[in-house]
Amino acid sequence: MRFDLVQLWPLAILSQLVCSQQILWGQCGGIGYTGSTRCVATATCTSYNPYYYQCIPGPTQKSTTSSTTPIRTTTSSKTTSTTTKAMTTSSTTTKTTTRTTTSSSSSSTTKLTSASSTTSTKTSSTTSIKTSSTTSTKTSSTTGICATGTFTPVSASAAFASLMPGLNIGNTFDAIPDETSWGNTVTPANLDTIKSRGFKSIRLPVTWEYHLISQGPSWTINSTWLDRVEYIVDESLKRGLWTIVNIHHDSWISFDTGAANANYTLMNEKFSALWSQIGDRFKCKGERLLFEAINEPGGETQAHAQQLNTMMGLFMTSVNKAGGFNPKRVLVLNGLGMSMDKTEIWFQRPSIYPDQPWGLTFHYYGPYDFIFGAWGKTIWGTEDDKAAIEAEFKMWKGNFTDIPTFVGEWNASPKNVERAAGWRYYDAFTKLCNKYGFSHIIWDAGNDNLNRITNTWFEPASQSILMNAVAGNTNVLADSTLDGGATTQFSSAYIFHKVGDAVTDKTATYINTNGAPISVKTSTGVDLLASGQVGYSAGSTPSTGVLTVKQSYFATLIGSNTAPGVLETLNIAWGAGEELTLKIVLYKAPTVSNPTIPMQTSGDLHIPVQYAGLPFPAAVYGEYDDAARTYVSDDWTVWLGPLQKGRWVSGNWGYDSSSLILSESGLSNIRAKAPAGSTKAILAWEFFPRDGFAVGSNALNITITL
């Protein structure tokens, strides 16, 4: 289908001699539209695409492209080169193939679930929040002219290349209903820490819905909220960080294109109103501020995608009409769910504003089972695992060869992912991004990368690996189990010592080594390599190495009454500047005081636990007591390896610092699946190091009576 703004305009629109006037933001034209084509005096009818014209505030503006002029002049103008070069990708719009691996789409829904369930346990923060005290200097004119500010135009590809690596300020301005509702805030000091660690950008997700002082037709954003967002944007830009502001969870509140009763007219009006106001407030910011249309918009079909494409046009038009530097600002567009395949199949390149720099973004949380700790998948990193990601990257590149792209969210959070496997993932993912020219912004919900309260990194080795990989350096990595058929799992991110075992020398093994480590320091800065309490030797295959922590050092940590837990975190520095940690963990199976619990029908079930090693579970196996010992989880998991068979998806289960958690949905799944004749479900919680759940293993059982 040609997407020609002029030729597709039927006379039907011109023939509508309607005297009534359309309200601000109202629709005023488009194929199939039969309402008024005239706007109230303060607005101009503006075309977005053949299907949608809208009343935008302000007088008719002389535009450099025919596509931005009002409907009545558009229809009489010639077809310009801008309009005819649209939709060169029309062949993609008719494709109906869908990929069988739906990692990114399925993960996005799960991420929301897991985000809200983890945050539900947080205590509300009392941190005071600053907003700009210099509001008087703001240029809030509606004329689109900037009295202050400087702007050096930059191409989308240059901007995207410069913003890597970036960090999300997640679960903060996007939290519902307010900034601190999910336990976070963000401060200038956080931005200093982010900048000094080598991050080049922040993505600042913002949910606007709960900060509107009126609903339609104006949808006025509370200026106090705009002040707060602007304050952090200014602090970020001041530090030279590229900064991305978006419309975030409004995607499922107001802009779910796939919602059963979606009113696209209303959706378009509201979306335009929000972007006009955001565009206006930020129009005089420098070129390092980017606007991203909308986060993970829902929808499943071509019709939903078409609506989203319309919204991309509304986004471009609204921010352009707001004026200032916006016509040259880099804009970030996206497809349904920010999933790669839906974007590949349905995204349409905008035809309007040909001089506007823009690029695309997608989110990547794959493979889902590994990233979200589902079905016992705690192992990752084979060549096949990497090839699966690469295959998806290749398809994107094949479809969008010439479109600059960044991965707006990805992660292998220490909350969900075993560390040695997580480090491999950071390294491999970043290198694949380098190879395909994608920039990236890692997700951070305030509980996986930066602890914004203490302003320290939860897990500094991850940042080290990320920065090193961005720079194209080889990372030394902790070796770990890769074999999906294994019955136990080892990880050299840890040295595990079982309570009661004799204290002997223990080893950790490394890959990609290029010489020995420089130092191995305790948390108090003692170098065990220098003191001889740690030794190092080359491994049996090239580029591998073995660190031996000596019995003499363990003897200083482990006595007969030492309580289990993480006894020490050693920092290992290697030649290329990368740092890994090695946690010394004394462990035995955790315990709960009452392992038999009656089913409850509402709310999450928190089961107090005494951790006795690493303070989080690795996986949960579940079966009923019927004769067949039916799995609580998906039956097909019988085909998976010994550490995955019968394991449940996360979301059904979770944890916090003092309890194991069965979520309301998990309990409901147990009830729903219970086979005839069963009286209870037995849940076997496994911990690291994983060695199954038989009696004597590092696991504990909880029985839920039905």
Binding site for ligand NAG (CB under 6 A): 97, 99, 213, 216, 222, 224-225, 263, 265-266, 269, 341, 344-345, 395, 398-399, 623, 682, 684, 693-695, 699, 701
Least distance CB 26 / ligand NAG (angstroms): 7
What six digits make up the tokens of 272?
A: 């335009």
- Gap between the Cα atoms of 237 and 230, Å rounded: 10
CB nearer to ligand NAG: pick between 242 and 693: 693
Least distance CB 303 / ligand NAG (angstroms): 16
What's the Cα-to-Cα distance from 133 to each of 129, 228, 591, rounded to whole Å? 12, 10, 53
CB nearer to ligand NAG: pick between 157 and 399: 399
Residue 672 C-beta-side C-alpha neighbours within 13 Å: 9
What's the Cα-to-Cα distance from 518 to each of 406, 427, 510, 573, 576, rounded to whole Å? 35, 21, 14, 5, 10
CB nearer to ligand NAG: pick between 97 and 541: 97
584 phi/psi in degrees, rounded to 5? -95, 115
CB nearer to ligand NAG: pick between 90 and 382: 90
Least distance CB 222 / ligand NAG (angstroms): 4
> Could you tell me which of 43, 77, 83, 79 has the C-alpha nearest to residue 61?
43
Least distance CB 267 / ligand NAG (angstroms): 8
Amino acid at 124: S
> Could you tell me which of 478, 540, 548 has the C-alpha nearest to residue 510?
478
Answer left, alpha or beta for residue 376, where phi above 0 means left and psi between -120 and 50 means alpha: left
What spatial distance separates the first Cα and last Cα of the chain, rounded to whole Å?
57
Q: What is the 3-state secondary structure (H, E, C) of 226-266?
A: HHHHHHHHHHHHHCCCEEEEECCCHHHHCCCCCCCCCCHHH
What's the Cα-to-Cα distance from 197 to each of 428, 468, 470, 494, rounded to whole Å? 20, 12, 13, 25
CB nearer to ligand NAG: pick between 65 and 306: 306
CB nearer to ligand NAG: pick between 223 and 451: 223
148 phi/psi in degrees, rounded to 5? -130, 170
For ligand NAG, which residue has the nearest CB?
398
Least distance CB 431 / ligand NAG (angstroms): 20
- Gap between the Cα atoms of 310 and 193, Å rounded: 39
Least distance CB 573 / ligand NAG (angstroms): 40
Least distance CB 519 / ligand NAG (angstroms): 41
Contact 348, 310 (CB under 8 A): no
CB nearer to ligand NAG: pick between 11 and 695: 695
Least distance CB 428 / ligand NAG (angstroms): 21
Least distance CB 216 / ligand NAG (angstroms): 6
Least distance CB 701 / ligand NAG (angstroms): 4
CB nearer to ligand NAG: pick between 407 and 478: 407
CB nearer to ligand NAG: pick between 146 and 599: 599
CB nearer to ligand NAG: pick between 17 and 695: 695
Q: Count CB neighbours of 658 within 10 A.
A: 13
DSSP label at 122? P
3-state class (DSSP) for residue 661: strand
